[in-house]
Amino acid sequence: MQKEKSGKSIDEIPLIPNNEFIYDPDDFQIDDTDKLKNLDLWCKPDSFGYTIERGNEIFPYHGYPKCSQVNGQMDTYAHIDRENNEVYMNCPENTNQEIIIGPYDNSKIIYREEGHKKWKTKEYKDPISATGVEFVLGKCKKDDGLFLQGDMNPIFNKTAYEKALKKVEGKPKIVYFLTLDSLSRRHFFRKLPTVINFMNDLNKNSSYSVFDFKLHNNMADTSPRNQVPIFSGDNTYSEYKIKNKNQDILKEKSLWYKLREKGYISYLGFEDCDGSFLNYIGRYPDVEYSAGPFYCAVETFTESGFRKENTVQRCIGGHQTHYFILNFTDTIVDMNYGANLMLYNHLNAAHEYTGQHAETLNDDITEYLQNFIKKYGKDYELLIFLQADHGMRYGAFFHELDAYQENKLPAFFLIASKSLLEKYPYSYHTLTINTERLTSKMDYRKTVLAMENIIEESVKSVDLFSETASKSRTCTQMGIRPWDCACLKMIEIKKPSKKIKNLVEFLKDYAENLINSQSYSFNKYPQGKVCKKIHLDDVEKIYHTGINNVEELYKLEITSETRENLKFQITYSLVSDGKYMEATKRRYRYESTSYLHYPIKIRILAISRMDTYAGPCELIARNAGIVPELCACQEA
């Protein structure tokens, strides 16, 4: 990629230096992506998602009350007091009942199965020592048996702080990856309009500049596979194969390891109890601070949960659940004032299948960013990656092709101190160009490392400050699999030939057998005990795209009369027989057949439901260990 100091982009566009370039963008709008259609880009998605009208129809304004109204209190009645080294409760009229403290061991990330089992509740009588305690949940009489009082407070790592201070050069920096799970760019505009307005105001009159990246593509299909490349610099996901998870799997290639030599304190925070990141970075990532197990306790002892079926508003005391992890983060900054900081937070408010709960982030993220910038902007140079891991990938988002596109195009806004950007002579023009180019998470990492003069060559990434992504940049060049790429055009085959009809029948039979092997014939139960045998009937729509001369994708929409309105959307990869197709537990088995007299291999990439399947059957299947999307329950 072309470096800024040449004064030209990789596409031979003369770059304008900062002292001549006026960055005065119009207010960010949801349909700014229309501007990309007139650019000569390799990546020209047919759709960036739902139209404004269709999006508002599917996701009308919901309106959530403040948690203070829901629970009848302004703050919390459980507290960690570092000054007096005690944990205490102050429920109204001394109606304190029980308390839970954590963590229960030194794990920084835990799996949900263990995270629901190891907590010990105690009757609360008097304050207890806060030594070794980073979070607390408590129960007052008014809470109807739930633990609705909470607090989080990090334990100061003095040794790490003193070491970091010695390595800081110049004005300290905060690099903040503020990740909002399951928010496409367009859904961000729908559900977080106040945040958009705040960023537009920053661009008009502040010491900060904000950039809206309009063509930001997923790295892969899950949260860790999208986000871990930021930490690892690699999207081959070799870490997943490492059996020993009781370590920092990334070791010396981790972002936190590389930044530590530049005076950085690092923090990882997850507002969930999923544990899926553990498979890629290990149980003990070598960061100075972490948060996550608190939310396993929340799932266990409150009505709030972080699975996609948990649609109830997530409140603890007078606050949304994300309030606690954000407050925890600010305390880390306060404790380590003057050190460089790398902060990563992963907030799960939008991780649910109605598409509505994202609204609960709107006011809170606006207020949080306002306060964060006001509190730390004077003494730090700030670089905030306000971004999503991916768009929604369940619920209403798989009803239409536009929804499938939104899944692949997550939100990404870059907020940076002007004083930081001015250190790079062409940064404003370079960033402006990159907001209209194909980008990915790998670019974050290269940008941050280059900012600290750490050279890490990678053909998959660009330094957003100093390099421009090419107009011809492709998903393949970035290491993104074809089926995760928003640029490929899926064309509907409305009049299939006889040969395609025969192929589609094979694809349908393959899918029917696979679905039933995972549900009706699930190996832990007798056949049909939990799920009915599914018969796939009519193929209503056929979509196709060619990737290269040896690989193509098909997507079928198929109905079934096994239960009323049952409908699947199934995506297949077809490759020539000579092309290697990896066998892996993470993917469905592949089948071999012939097409136009040539042998081919076929694999199902994704199966999703297009009907509404949430409810009793989903819970029955999930409790049985069966993928709910594949089950038509005998009961319910």
Two tokens at 312? 């109830």
Q: Which of 87, 153, 75 is nearest to 328 (CA)?
A: 153
Q: SS3 for 470-496, per residue?
A: CCCCCCCCCCCCHHHCCCCCCEECCCC
Tokens matching residue 332: 């880390």
Give the CA count within 13 Å in the CB-facing half-sphere of 415.
26
Check if the beta carbon of residue 114 is closer than 8 Å to that of residue 124.
Answer: no
**pLDDT at site 577:** 65
Q: What pLDDT does 628 receive? A: 84
Phi then psi for residue 585, to 5 deg, are -65, -25
Phi first, then psi: give them for residue 274, nearest 5 degrees: -80, -45
Per mean pLDDT, which of 57-66, 255-264, 269-278, 589-598 is the most reliable?
255-264
Residue 188 has which token pair? 């961000």
Return mean pLDDT, the chain. Answer: 92
Please write the tens of the pLDDT for every residue from 400-438: 668 878 999 999 999 999 999 999 999 999 999 999 999
**Do the Cβ atoms of 466 and 484 come closer than 8 Å?**
no
Closest by alpha carbon to 343, among 313, 379, 309, 386?
386
pLDDT above 60 (res 585)? no
Quick one: average pLDDT of 35-54? 91
- The residues pairing with 294 across neighbouring beta strands, listed in sequence order, are none
Is the pLDDT at 587 greater than 80? The verdict is no
Assess whether the previous peptide bond of 172 is cis (omega < 30° from 0).
Answer: no
Per-residue pLDDT averaged across 562-572, rounded?
91
Q: Coil, strand, or helix at residue 361?
A: helix
Question: Among 22-31, 119-128, 389-398, whose mean pLDDT is lowest?
Answer: 389-398
Q: How far is CA 162 from CA 136, 201, 284, in A?
A: 28, 37, 22
The 8-class DSSP code of residue 635 comes to -
Per the structure block, which two tokens stand in for 88?
Answer: 């205490």
Distance CA 577, CA 601 (A): 5
The radius of gyration of the chain from alpha carbons, rounded to an integer in Å, stands at 25
The span from the CA of 325 to the CA of 153, in Å, is 9
Do 310 and 68 form a contact (C-beta atoms < 8 A)?
A: no
Q: Which of 88-92, 187-191, 594-598 has the lowest mean pLDDT?
A: 594-598
Burial of 7 (0-12, 13-18, 19+ CB in 10 A): middle
For 473-519, the pLDDT digits (tens) are 999 999 998 878 999 877 899 999 999 999 999 999 999 999 999 99
Other CB atoms within 10 Å distance of the CB of residue 19 = 8
The gap between the terminal CA atoms of the chain, to the nearest Å, is 57
Say what the pLDDT of residue 614 is.
Answer: 64
Residue 586 pLDDT > 80: no
Q: Are 542 and 491 in contact (CB under 8 A)?
A: no
Among positive and negative, which fits the CA dihedral 88, 89, 90, 95? Answer: negative
Alpha helices by DSSP H, 305-464: 321-335, 362-376, 401-408, 418-421, 427-434, 442-451
CB under 8 Å to 499, separation ≥6 — which residues?
Answer: 595, 596
pLDDT in tens, 208-243: 999 999 999 999 988 999 999 999 999 888 888 888
Cis-peptide, bond into residue 154, ω within 30° of zero: no
Tell me what the mean pLDDT of segment 582-598 comes to. 67
Place of tokens 């009308």: 60
Residue 298, SS3 per DSSP = helix
Cβ pair 484, 272 in contact under 8 A: no
| Distance separating alpha carbons of residues 576 and 426, to the nearest angstrom | 46
- Scan for tokens 């835990």, then name that residue: 110
Residues 324-375 have pLDDT tens digits of 999 999 999 999 999 999 999 999 999 998 899 999 999 999 999 999 999 9
| Distance, CA of 426 to CA of 567 (rounded, Å) | 51
pLDDT of residue 582: 54
Separation between Cα atoms, residue 154 and residue 523, nearest integer Å: 44
Q: Which two tokens stand for residue 404?
A: 């499938």
Q: What is the pLDDT of residue 3?
A: 45
> CA-CA distance, 428 to 421, in Å (whole number)?
7
Where do we find the tokens 């949260």? 223
Percent of the chain at pLDDT exceeding 90: 75
Closest among 450, 357, 405, 410 to 178, alpha carbons compared: 410
145 conformational bin, left if phi > 0, alpha if psi -120 to 50, beta if neither: left
Closest to 302 (Cα-Cα) out of 106, 125, 67: 67
- Segment 520-542 shows an average pLDDT of 94
